[in-house]
Structure 1
């Protein structure tokens, strides 16, 4: 079945950008179908939407229109490489403003669902904490409630890697040579276990990584050299003390081998009043690629339920 697709851009004018900016988005399905749309927030920060593309099939399986967009600084949206390292520009508030701008420009700000994956789930939680009137349901997939918990979980997972891989990672992190080929190879051992267990990596994930390599401005500024070596502005980020403010019904998702271990998602489960948690036994960090059929079934059923 061919999914009707619309691609376009909206203007976005963040303070301090120094140039006109645009947010690129694509709509899968029909916003006039009468079914509430799902807006997807990709991870990274700075890893474009491509690896989320299997979620577009919710239009085919459940008739749900799906909106994906590339956040500022990556993918098809405006790039601002000159802002590398500018933590005062690349902020959570910036990306919240971008999301609100997109919702308004599309005219769906009064009725929408939201799915955030990894960093996108962090952003989705921040959005939901503000209790926007139009947010109906929230899906937080593979996301931490605290980056301190995220790093603690990553450190434990790293202990399960081969000793030589552990030593290589530590050496380059200590020496400040995380841009070396040797570090990249060692890093991929972790990624193969805890980010995407499908071999070879799916085309959608490969493309997202390729685009990240071409411009890692946002990722390096806010996160750091790798998924598990966090040195950026998000290093101390946490919403543990605020997640109780989320009133939208919320679905939590993570995989058995996920770098988003149960410990990093548990604060969501403990503090959100109306919450459900689904585990994916064959997945790590990307269940939409690792168990795609079940992912669509679980998310679609949740969004369509009353």
Structure 2
């Protein structure tokens, strides 16, 4: 019996050692090392950054991109909002997607902070048609295709993602429309009839007076917006607690692009902004690629409309962030990233 016990102990000890051996840093890091291996790639020297030339009627310009990770079947191109904002809105993705082995590409659209900026005052390139063509040129340069290409757009980026899908969905493996409605007129209505009345009447009155007088440069305008609107519907936390990446993005916003396409007002799109009449509700039924639509309870966009969008496309899913606002990737992170990762994995293994 003693010999049997000793043999059993030795066996357990050996098994434990083998199990422990499986948990060595060398073995654990094998997948991680492959994911972060840039050797032999043309962007190794720059740490994943590539300035991609874009051909336009106004000449050739370069746009900034940065690849994070390697995955032959899961590559997510990130379209930032604004228009005229930056990839910095997405920097929290670093905290989630690498652990899932999902490759993603930061990208500043033309006119945004890290990319080239055409001549000041020339707005001829600030069109949906230009930006759709720009995304297609970026796609080709990065070698993205229907076997690996996930396109994620948030806010204005969501508009761009939809418009790209209408023209080039055969190039896409999966589409993610985040925090963006399919109709600006309906967004304006939601802002006026739902969001406005939630604000203190006196505060709303003062904001509306400033807008009526086109006094957008008045520091009071931004003061009121940040305190009473942004912290409720853009990023639900005190401004002093906002991530540095978000404050940096606000500081880097290109107002020339933003105002021309979006306008000054934060309560809908008004004036002569070029996106004022944009509406593609009737075209959603033409999107056949797997599509995830993300909405949030406190968003500037109507979550009910975005749920409807997910049913209007041919192959859709809705992700609702119950604690989120317009930047749900920050104020409802666990729900946002869990749903995003599940969607990408489900499409990848054909279980969507």
Structure 1 length-normalised TM: 0.92
Matches within 5 A, 1:11-160: 11-16=53-58, 19-30=59-70, 33-80=71-118, 82-83=120-121, 86=123, 88-111=124-147, 112-155=149-192, 156-160=194-198
Name structure 2 gaps, 5 residues minimum: 1-31, 37-46
- Alignment of 1:295 with 2:336, yes or no, is yes
- Preserved contact between residue 251 and residue 278 of structure 1 (Cα < 8 Å): yes
Partners of 1:250 and 1:22 lie apart in 2 by: 30
1:26 is paired with a residue of what secondary structure? strand
- Preserved contact between residue 282 and residue 291 of structure 1 (Cα < 8 Å): yes
- Preserved contact between residue 169 and residue 287 of structure 2 (Cα < 8 Å): no
The Cα offsets for residues 8-61 of structure 1, whole Å up to 9 and x where unpaired, read as 101012113xx541110000112xx33320111110111101011112444423
Instruction: Tell me which structure has the larger Cα radius of gyration.
Output: 2
Partners of 1:284 and 1:74 lie apart in 2 by: 24
Report the more deviating stretch, 136-145 or 195-204: 195-204
1:195 is aligned, of 234, 243, 247, to: 234
Partners of 2:169 and 2:315 lie apart in 1 by: 16
> How far is 1:168 from its partner?
1.3
- Preserved contact between residue 77 and residue 105 of structure 2 (Cα < 8 Å): yes
Matches within 5 A, 1:161-176: 161-176=199-214
Name structure 1 gaps, 5 residues minimum: none
- Preserved contact between residue 10 and residue 24 of structure 1 (Cα < 8 Å): yes
- Preserved contact between residue 86 and residue 108 of structure 2 (Cα < 8 Å): yes
> How far is 1:162 from its partner?
1.0
Partners of 2:119 and 2:277 lie apart in 1 by: 24
Displaced runs of 4 or more, over 6 A: none
- Preserved contact between residue 47 and residue 211 of structure 1 (Cα < 8 Å): yes
1:225 is paired with a residue of what secondary structure? coil
> How far is 1:131 from its partner?
4.3
1:140 is paired with a residue of what secondary structure? strand
Residues 56 and 245 of structure 1: CA distance in aligned 2, closer, same or farther (over 3 Å): farther
> How far is 1:267 from its partner?
4.6
- Preserved contact between residue 42 and residue 49 of structure 1 (Cα < 8 Å): yes
1:113 is paired with a residue of what secondary structure? strand
Report the more deviating stretch, 189-198 or 224-233: 224-233
Structure 2 length-normalised TM: 0.80
Partner of 1:6: 48
Partners of 1:131 and 1:98 lie apart in 2 by: 12
- Preserved contact between residue 131 and residue 246 of structure 1 (Cα < 8 Å): no
- Preserved contact between residue 128 and residue 247 of structure 1 (Cα < 8 Å): no
Report the more deviating stretch, 292-301 or 252-261: 292-301
Please identify which structure carries the higher helix content.
2
Ranked by relative contact order (alpha carbons within 8 Å, sequence separation 6 or more), the top structure is: 1
Partners of 1:274 and 1:27 lie apart in 2 by: 28
